[in-house]
Chains A and B, each alone.
Chain A
Amino acid sequence: MKNSTRFVLTLRKLALLFLRDLAVARSYRAAFLIEIFQALFGVAGFYFLSRFVESAKLEKSLPPGANYFSFALVGIAFFDYLSVGLHTFDASLQEARQNGTLENLLVTQTSLPVILAGSSLYPFALMSLRTAIYIGWGAALFGFPLSGANWLGAFLVLAASVLAFSGLGILSASYLLIFKRGNPVNWAILGLSTVAGGMMYPVSVLPVWLQHVARLIPITYSLEGMRAAILGHATLRELVPSLAGLVVFAVVLLPISFAIFSWALRRTKIAGTLTHF
């Protein structure tokens, strides 16, 4: 089969898996509506919390032009991408194991990495929609600043972030293949990212040694870039440091995670534990 044909087939399979998840989600309409209003409550809560904590000292720590509400909203909305990136691959693997479709998927002409990649598209798309709803409610009701944002820059930061986070997610799925449950990869990365990634407060308020640790996790670059693009109106040139950091993570993590995943998959076929959970 020609490479171009194989590429088109793979894209088609990714689309099919996305449409599968969309169709399943569509069959639970009420859950989707609840999601929209749940975001409203979340944004309102952060708005009133931010009015409580705003102070002159805090303003100095934030990027120029940002108040605490907009700072925290970007942090919370985009931190969830990391969470989706970490969970989506092992969640889809676990779901296929539990609903009995994994064996039937694996005897098709589609490799497990393509199945997992296709199964991650809907969660990422849903996350994007949720983020848009968060920011939309924030702008409509609580003065979140949309004008002047560099949306192209934000999109590039988001794309690079998804690639970097996916590398971590594939590592996490590799762990799940071998150990089945209890994932310390997710736990360590999410825990460290929550403390040092700058979700709710700037990295600059951390102790110096923890600021160095923050440079070793991708969410730091992701949130810095996203805030600079949306709140700081940064140009593409100004976003290069954040983008470069994320690209380095993606270039290093993706090949390593694919290699480890292939090894783990082969291991489960040898041990006969592929469908165990």
Chain B
Amino acid sequence: MRLLLAVLNTFREYIVLTLLATVSIVLILNSDSAPVRVLRSFSVFTFASLQSTSSWIADLASPRVDEEKLREVNVELLEEVLRLRALRQENIELRRKIGFRERSSYPVISAEIVGKSLTLGQNMVTLNVGENDSVRVNMPIINEEGLVGKIVATTGSYSIGMLALHRDFRVPSKVKRSRIDGIIAYTHGDDLQLRNVWKTADVLPGDTIVTTEYSSVFPAEVLIGTVQSIGAGEGGLFSQIVVRPFVSFSSLERVFVVRYPMNRERRQLEERHFPKEEAAQ
């Protein structure tokens, strides 16, 4: 017994260390047990009330520091926002152009508008590409936003494009959502008109208008615009549908001529049997 006591006395530090470490580990493993939770709630109650009464110590230092720090962060964030906005705009432009090239299933010829003739309903543009670049009459002109017009005349190095905002411009089109067919034409102002649509047809403001697969000039599903308003029309059977084009014609600078293969045999047949307005497209 005396020997045991002597051993315990010699190694008492190690024994105490082992005991306390064991108890600690048991507590760690049972950190969520009910007795520990009771102890914790008592401890939290005691110290939290102490902490709340002495919160003025923290208030002495923290608010000023926080305010200054927040101002610095604010300035940094403002600069960051301005920089990101510029990058975002640049990114959108690049994405549009790249995305458009990837989406287009037909080869396109990039062209710059070198001349504009924007007089009352006769909106034409001159492009810096011509027959030498494989541009032909009736080839569609588009950009990353949608349908721009079509080629109406060519020379070796230049071509003339008729914009959709031309009084003679027509394109078979349809409502993307309900697949209702119609013909897009230009009357006046900056908007287009969707013609030949029955008053009972399923067309709603906001609907997207795209080209149809029936055209011998334009490829299908090219974006044209959105339905702005639907009127009753004057005593007729058709609605008066105003379409706001996607393309911003006033800021047009660069376009793409689509090398869409026109089927001449089909076109000749349609010209003989279809009404003149529809056959022209």
A and B form one complex: no
